A and B are shown apart, each in its own frame.
Chain A
Amino acid sequence: MEQEGKGEVSSGIYTYNHHCDNGFDIHEIFVKRSRFRVLLSYIGMVFLLASVSRPFLSEDKLSPGSSVWSITFGILVAKCLQYKPVKKESVVIMPTFGVQLEIHFWSGRVHRRFVPLGKVLKPLLNECVTPVTCYWSLSLLLCDEEELMLVFQKSRPPVKMLVPVWKALGKFLNSECQTCSAVSEPGSQT
């Protein structure tokens, strides 16, 4: 396997890495796992187990209604505290094919989405506003789709890490467009 041009930038819990591999341009964002969130998720699981086992272990017989409510509450708390840590999110730019977006979890699971070249119109740096904050995100404007596709779905890396990915996507799309127009130009010599 060939690896070229390793660039790494760290900021807070995110680390950006860029390298080329067999002609593919790979941009990766690594996310540090939060020990506090892991602890909270274990607390949620323990709370759920306690809620489920309380009706069986309790000496006083509890009514079925209150048992259901306590189990439901336990499920809700466990769900809120659930933590599926993301190890890294990567953008693999495959010349002439398209872009593959990957999410790698610490559990080993990998979620992949492939976007063909012809479907991508433009990469966009977008400012997202929530009721409590405002942050940058990188999205793809897709052909025949009303909604933008987020490139990094699970993480919010800083804009200085998004810019090189945005530029690489833009350069990739421009070069592919120029290649297509050169091929389709009448009277062009090959």
Chain B
Amino acid sequence: MDGDGKRHRILMVSDFFFPNFGGVESHIYYLSQCLLKLGHKVVVMTHAYGSRSGVRYVTGGLKVYYVPWKPFLMQNTLPTLFLTFPIVRTILIREKISVVHGHQAFSTLCHEALMHARTMGYKVVFTDHSLYGFADAGSIHMNKVLQFTLADFDQAICVSHTSKENTVLRSGISPQKVFMVPNAVDTAMFTPSPERLSCDEIVIVVISRLVYRKGADLLVEVIPEVCRLFPKVRFIVGGDGPKRVRLEEMREKFSLQDRVEMLGAVPHAQVRSVLISGHIFLNSSLTEAFCIAILEAASCGLLTVSTRVGGVPEVLPDDMIVLAQPAPEDMVRAVKKAIDMLPGIDPQMKKLYSWDDVAKRTEIVYDRAMQSSKTDLLERLPRYLTCGAWAGKLFCLVMIINYLLWCLLEYLQPTEGIEEVPDIRLVYAHLESVNDMCRIQSEGN
């Protein structure tokens, strides 16, 4: 538990982390780095990726446990309910964790780790990164799992007010326990181009996964119409996916090979160089809890045109974004408005969001979680009964079995037998002394 004043020892748990790349992965990484800078200890737990298994130390001394559980579906660990308890317990004890922070409702490892952590009496925080529906079978099951996890939790974080509303409705939890902490952008990496682009030719950039959820079908309708109405406009499309074929067919059908450039998958390190080659960023997502992509584009000085879905309207101020309904006609109208606005905008980088601010706000959530009272099993079980007539009883049974399993693990491998890991901090003083030696040597020559 926390013994150094307000210094927290955080375990971030999710199925989604590097080397896999995406919004959740970046969020965990950048948040962890900023929390380390604030003086907290952060450890990440995820599943193994191929041969990447075991303990790794990444930038800033961030320790990552790649637990050798193979993913079975869409990067998710096989849900076993109880089999992850031994390794989760071992990590919690040996790293002297004080708060467990799970990420993403779709991560089975996250749900299991939070369940085990609550059984052992640790404080838990959950961050929901996506919006989910209510009607289809997958969403109904996912929402039930979320209800179970959040029935007995300390605090939750959502990345937008829309996401908070969605999470509260899906899980039935109290809104007072849900904080809104937005995502941020790496402002050191995403900076505007030093030279302002000429407006003789308008370049519209699209970078996204070419899948249904990201509105690739909308692009197929919008791009030819925009090219017809505005002869000076050309498109750069980065990204790959199953809908790429449709875009290629669209290019062929309307003979837009010289006006629509398809880049394919763009590595994240090269996204900025693609963005600064354009004037306008087009986002056609059908659902987004936050949308970091438009933030990155705005940080690079682009004017954004986006669909008005989910949490997108909350991300940027009105002078930096033009919103449209997810329909081709309205999107074309929005592109026209953006082209008219272009000469008047100032592409200089504005201070939008920063990960340091996100870390400070998350720290407040941790402080609030640590203040919540300790509860034993008998006090916690009634919270699960509210999950449903049958589901509530089933969840109670699962928690009772989990508690008995914990007792068994305590008997087979007592806490005293698990060695605690010493804290390893990076020695920045050593690096400074090395630089001094180099300077002295160069002066001697």
Contact = CB atoms under 8 A, between A and B. Distances in A.
Are both chains from one complex? yes
Interface of A: 12, 127-134, 136, 158-160
B252 interface: no
Given A127-B54, A129-B54, A129-B65, A134 B90 contact: yes
A131 B68 contact: yes
Interface string B45-63: 0000000011100000000
A130 B54 CA distance: 8
Contacts of B90: 132-134
Given A129-B53, A131-B83, A133-B413, 20 more contacts: A127-B54, A127-B421, A128-B54, A129-B54, A129-B55, A129-B66, A129-B67, A129-B68, A129-B87, A130-B68, A130-B87, A131-B87, A132-B86, A132-B90, A133-B90, A134-B65, A134-B87, A134-B91, A158-B419, A160-B419
Contacts of A128: 54
27 contacts: A12-B417, A127-B55, A128-B54, A129-B53, A129-B54, A129-B65, A129-B68, A130-B68, A130-B87, A131-B67, A131-B68, A131-B69, A132-B83, A132-B86, A132-B87, A132-B90, A133-B86, A133-B87, A134-B55, A134-B65, A134-B87, A134-B90, A134-B91, A134-B94, A136-B419, A159-B419, A160-B419
The 8 closest A-B CB pairs, nearest first, are A132-B86, A127-B55, A129-B54, A134-B90, A133-B90, A159-B419, A131-B68, A132-B87
Contacts of B54: 127-129
* Chain B interface residue number, banded: 10 to 19
Nearest to B413: A133
Contacts of A136: 419
A131 B54 CA distance: 10
Nearest to B45: A129
A89 to B, nearest CB: 19
A12 B413 CA distance: 11
Interface string B241-252: 000000000000
Contacts of A158: 419
Contacts, number: 38
Main secondary structure of the interface of B (DSSP, over half): mixed
A75 B351 CA distance: 70
Nearest to B93: A134
A53 B143 CA distance: 57
Nearest to A159: B419
Interface in B376-430: 413, 417, 419, 421
Contacts of B83: 131-132
B64 to A, nearest CB: 10
Residue picked from A128, A132, A136, most chain B C-beta under 10 Å? A132
Contacts of A130: 68, 87
A76 B317 CA distance: 69
Contacts of B94: 134
Contacts of B419: 136, 158-160
A178 B73 CA distance: 54
Interface in B82-98: 83, 86-87, 90-91, 94
A131 B82 CA distance: 12
A139 to B, nearest CB: 12
Nearest to B420: A159
Contacts of A12: 417
Contacts of B65: 129, 134
A134 B413 CA distance: 12
Nearest to B417: A12
Contacts of B86: 132-133
A108 B14 CA distance: 49
Nearest to A160: B419
A182 B86 CA distance: 51
Nearest to A129: B54
Nearest to B414: A12
Nearest to A130: B68
Nearest to B54: A129
Contacts of B91: 134
Contacts of B67: 129, 131
A117 to B, nearest CB: 28
A128 B91 CA distance: 12
Contacts of A132: 83, 86-87, 90
Nearest to B94: A134
A158 B421 CA distance: 12
B31 to A, nearest CB: 23
Contacts of A127: 54-55, 421
Contacts of A133: 86-87, 90, 413
B410 to A, nearest CB: 14
Interface centre among A131, A133, A134 (most CB of B within 10 A): A134
Contacts of A159: 419
A180 to B, nearest CB: 25
Contacts of B417: 12
Nearest to B55: A127
Interface string B75-116: 000000001001100110010000000000000000000000
